[in-house]
């Protein structure tokens, strides 16, 4: 499933967190059918997204961090259908990525902290910024693992446009950087 939110003008990469209120507000827009379609052209038949039809909605578990504790919020996503080939797509809000439960601002904040410090490891990053789960009954408490941050950085690195823009920003800040090496 391709990531469909890159053209969304509301996508803010530098926020530190998304809130439960933002998720609930977006879910209300989905319920009312007020979410715009920010999808790219259909990769199969090249129909423009202006012609896509709302196909339904689906639930999505999203983890929001409040005071170093991850809280689960159930949000809604809009499903779209291409009229040319009947392929279905999921539109993602400005705070979410496909296959990731944490919000995009959280992913970017951890990735930025890792990239800004050459001497930090994934393990040290997690030790400095621990994220846990709320203790509910007899359920075992879990903590954010360093491999999660590793996967987040790998995911962000797969976005070609994002990677090129990040390289340009790094080179503007430090022309002697070895980022292109």
**Torsion angle of C-alpha atoms 81, 84, 87, 91, degrees rounded to 10:** -40
Count of Cβ atoms closer than 10 Å to residue 175 Cβ: 7
Structure tokens at 126: 């997690």
Q: What percent of the chain has pLDDT over 90?
A: 29
pLDDT digits (tens, 9 = 90+) for 104-162: 888 888 988 888 888 989 999 888 888 887 766 565 677 888 898 999 988 887 877 76
107-115's contacts with Cβ under 8 Å and 24+ in sequence apart are 107/152, 107/155, 107/156, 108/13, 108/14, 108/15, 108/156, 109/16, 109/17, 110/149, 110/152, 111/149, 111/152, 111/153, 111/156, 114/149, 114/153, 115/153
Give residue 7's pLDDT: 45
Residue-level pLDDT at 11: 37
- Rounded to an integer, the average pLDDT of 11-15 is 36
Distance CA 8, CA 38 (A): 5
What are residue 125's phi and psi, to 5 degrees? -60, -45
Between 166 and 180, whose confidence is greater? 166
């Amino acid at each position: 499933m391709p990531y469909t939110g890159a053209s969304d003008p509301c996508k803010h990469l530098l926020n530190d967190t998304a809130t439960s209120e933002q998720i609930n507000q977006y879910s209300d827009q989905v319920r009312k059918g007020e979410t715009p379609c920010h999808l790219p052209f259909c990769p199969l038949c090249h129909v423009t997204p202006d012609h896509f039809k709302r196909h339904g909605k689906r639930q999505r578990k999203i983890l929001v961090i409040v005071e170093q504790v991850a809280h689960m919020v159930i949000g809604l996503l809009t499903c779209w259908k291409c009229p040319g080939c009947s392929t279905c797509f999921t539109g993602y809000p400005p705070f979410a990525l496909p296959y990731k439960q944490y919000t995009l601002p959280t992913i970017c904040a951890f990735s930025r902290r890792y990239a800004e410090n050459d001497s930090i490891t994934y393990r040290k990053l997690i030790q400095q910024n621990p994220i846990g789960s709320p203790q509910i009954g007899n359920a075992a408490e879990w903590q954010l693992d360093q491999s999660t941050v590793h996967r987040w950085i790998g995911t962000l690195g797969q976005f070609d446009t994002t990677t090129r823009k990040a390289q340009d920003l790094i080179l503007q800040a430090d022309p002697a950087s070895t980022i292109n090496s």
